[in-house]
Amino acid sequence: MAKVIIYEGDDGLEVISPASHLKPSEVASYLVPHAKKYRIVETSQLPPDPEFWGAWTIDCEVDIEKAKSIWLDKIRLVRNEKLKQLDLEWMIAMEQGESKQAGEIAAKKQLLRDVTERREFRKVKTVEQIKQYWPEILEG
């Protein structure tokens, strides 16, 4: 099994995969910044889901709070596109004097803004639970 070097960089966990003919300890002495804690691990020890690599820790675990933040950023990308479309629809409704329709659109926009603040998401404790959270309002 291949070995990798992991250490905590300035922007999260860094993973170095040395060439098979090199000793990982020697590679670490050259590539890991001085005074940084590092580990040499089998690739099979790394968390299995690369989607949350930004939440990996030097202990080969996933920091659930960081994973939640990564997932919320994905939700925000989709949500923001939907908000842009609704902004356009709201402006058209206002220009046409359709205040009732504009109010309905405004209510949808508020529901979209609230998707990152739902209590049920704050309660999730595993990567699998995080990935299951996708608000229905974001579909379609």
pLDDT in tens, 104-136: 999 999 999 999 888 889 899 999 999 999 999
List the Cα angle 106/111/117 in 5-degree steps: 140
Q: State the pLDDT at residue 12.
A: 85
pTM of this structure: 0.83
State both tokens at 134. 């996708």
State both tokens at 121. 């998401």
pLDDT in tens, 46-95: 999 899 999 999 999 999 999 999 999 999 999 999 999 999 999 999 99
Please check the confidence at residue 1 and state whether its pLDDT lies above 80.
no
**16-22: long-range contacts, CB 8 A cutoff, minimum separation 24:** 17/43
pLDDT in tens, 14-38: 999 999 999 999 999 999 999 899 9
Q: State the pLDDT at residue 118.
A: 85
Please check the confidence at residue 96 and state whether its pLDDT lies above 90.
yes
Please check the confidence at residue 140 and state whether its pLDDT lies above 90.
no
